[in-house]
């Protein structure tokens, strides 16, 4: 009886390892990846520039650089004009991307936010 229980446990373990997606690289195919996982991919630099342009800040994309990138957040810094510096933070939320904008200047040696301009700092665009 003990041998039968051990054999049953081993068989169930092997079955679980080879049928669950993502375990030991076995038994996984492209079709077994959940649909929600594909939507949560990180925003690339190229895609980020397109999304910033779509959000209405195309004129601010001069000399764009990628500051940081993770699965949930991408930060792109641009340097428009002589002393301008703009920071765009992009966060993916499914098929939509939230774009947060900080427009500022490097006048005086350090970054300072420009507050006298009236513009929308938060926009949501489709991916």
Is there a contact between 103 and 96 (Cβ–Cβ < 8 Å)? no
In sequence order, which residues have a C-beta less than 8 Å from that of residue 96 and are 6 or more positions away? 124, 125, 126, 127
Same domain, 88 and 107: yes
CA atoms within 13 A on the CB side of 80: 13
Structure tokens at 84: 């301008």
63, 43: one domain: yes
Query: Do residue 22 and residue 84 come from a single domain?
Result: no
Same domain, 11 and 52: no
How does pLDDT run across 43-97, given as a tens digit for each residue?
999 999 999 999 988 888 888 999 999 988 999 999 988 888 999 999 998 889 9
Same domain, 23 and 48: no
The residue segments making up the domain with residue 60 are 39-126
């Amino acid at each position: 009886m003990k041998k039968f229980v051990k054999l049953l446990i081993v068989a169930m373990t092997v079955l679980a390892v080879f049928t669950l997606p993502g375990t030991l690289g076995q038994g996984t195919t492209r079709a077994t990846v959940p649909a929600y996982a594909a939507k949560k991919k990180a925003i690339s630099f190229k895609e980020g520039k397109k999304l910033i342009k779509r959000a209405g800040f195309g004129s601010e994309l001069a000399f764009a650089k990628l500051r940081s990138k993770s699965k949930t957040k991408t930060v792109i810094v641009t340097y428009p004009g002589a002393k301008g510096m703009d920071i765009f933070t992009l966060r993916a939320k499914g098929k939509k991307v939230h774009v947060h904008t900080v427009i500022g200047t490097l006048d005086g040696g350090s970054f300072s936010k420009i507050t006298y301009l009236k513009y929308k700092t938060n926009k949501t665009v489709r991916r």
